[in-house]
Amino acid sequence: MNDFTKDMTNALFNQDKINDLFRQKLQQAVNDLLESELTAFLGYNPYERDGWNTGNSRNGAYYRKVDTQFGQIEIKVPRDRNGEFHQHTMPDYKRHTDVLAQTVIKLYSKGVTTR
């Protein structure tokens, strides 16, 4: 049994803990995906000798908060030195997911009205 399944079995008895667990795992997954996206763009892993004197390297990151259905997550968007990297995981300037809008559209299409 891995850590995720242990955490999940412990959180099954409390709905708030499940949302917190999903929020933490989602935040970790998005941050890992963004970091690997920069690694693929640059062509070398962090602190590798292959990256020396290539003309472009990692240049820190900026933080952005995004509202999801599990709560607010803080993502760490990495940057490159030349400013050529544009991530495709999260759309630029997007601060919330469209889950609520999609739910309203689905309910309206099923015939549920505001009354």
Q: Give the pLDDT of residue 110.
A: 77
Would you say residue 114 lies in a domain? no
DSSP class of 51: G
Q: How would residue 9 be classed by pLDDT, with cut points 50, 70 and 90? A: confident
Mean pLDDT for the chain overall: 81
Buried b (16+ CB within 10 A) or exposed e, 32-59: eebbebbbeebeeeeeeeebeeeeeebe
Domain count, the chain: 1
Would you say residue 115 lies in a domain? no
Q: How would residue 99 be classed by pLDDT, with cut points 50, 70 and 90? A: low
Residue-number span of the structural domain to which 78 is assigned: 3-109
Would you say residue 68 lies in a domain? yes
Answer whether residue 8 shows pLDDT above 80.
Answer: no
Q: Give the pLDDT of residue 87.
A: 85
Would you say residue 63 lies in a domain? yes
Would you say residue 86 lies in a domain? yes
Q: Give the pLDDT of residue 17.
A: 79
Single pTM value for the model: 0.74
Per-residue model confidence as pLDDT tens digits over 43-70 = 888 888 877 878 888 889 999 998 888 8
Name the maximum alpha-carbon separation found in the chain: 65
Q: Give the pLDDT of residue 91.
A: 76
Q: How far apart are the first and last CA of the chain?
A: 48
| CA distances from residue 86 to 10, 58, 77 in whole angstroms, order as listed | 38, 13, 10
Q: Give the pLDDT of residue 57.
A: 85
